[in-house]
Amino acid sequence: MKTSTLPPIPKPPSRIKSYLTFALIVLLLWSSGVKTGADFLKLADGLPNIGRLLGEMVPPDWSYFSKITDAMWETIRMAVAGTTFGAALAIPIALLSARNVARSPFLYYPARFILNLVRTVPDLLLAAVFVAIFGIGPWAGIFALTLFSFGLIAKLTYESVEAIDPGPLEAMTAVGANKLQWIHFGVVPQVTGPFVSYFLYTFEVNVRAAAVLGLVGAGGIGLFYERTLGLLKYDKTSSIILFTLAVVLIIDFITVKVREKWL
Q: Which residues of 81-91 are buried (b: 16+ CB within 10 A; e: fewer)?
A: bbbbbbbebbb
How near is the Cβ of 210 to another protein at its closest, in Å? 10
Nearest to 140 by CA among 73, 50, 215, 72: 215
How near is the Cβ of 257 to another protein at its closest, in Å? 13
- Number of residues forming the site for another protein (CB under 8 A): 58
Contact mark string toward another protein, 170..209, x via CB under 8 A? --------------------------------------x-
Region of 43-51, 98-106, 161-169, 175-183 interacting with another protein (CB under 8 A): 43-51
229 contacts another protein (rule: CB under 8 A): yes
98-to-23, 75, 104, 111, 130 alpha-carbon distances in Å? 41, 33, 10, 9, 30
- For another protein, the binding residue among 23, 88, 231, 249 (CB under 8 A) is 249
Nearer to another protein, 188 or 246 (CB): 246
Distance CA(147)–CA(81), nearest Å, equals: 12
Distance CA(190)–CA(50), nearest Å, equals: 51
Site for another protein in 92-111 (CB under 8 A): none
Q: Are 203 and 79 in contact (CB under 8 A)?
A: yes
66 contacts another protein (rule: CB under 8 A): no
Site for another protein in 112-171 (CB under 8 A): 116-117, 120-125, 128-129, 131-135, 137-139, 142
Distance CA(142)–CA(130), nearest Å, equals: 9
Nearest to 93 by CA among 107, 76, 73: 107
- For another protein, the binding residue among 65, 77, 85, 100 (CB under 8 A) is 77
Residues 6+ apart with CB under 8 A from 86: 145, 146, 147, 148, 149, 150, 151, 152, 153, 202
**DSSP 8-state class, residue 58:** S
263 contacts another protein (rule: CB under 8 A): no
- For another protein, the binding residue among 108, 198, 225, 243 (CB under 8 A) is 225
Q: Which residues are near another protein by CB under 8 A?
A: 28-29, 31-33, 35-39, 42-43, 45-47, 49-50, 53, 73-74, 76-78, 80-81, 84, 116-117, 120-125, 128-129, 131-135, 137-139, 142, 208, 211-212, 215-216, 225, 229, 241, 244-245, 248-249, 262
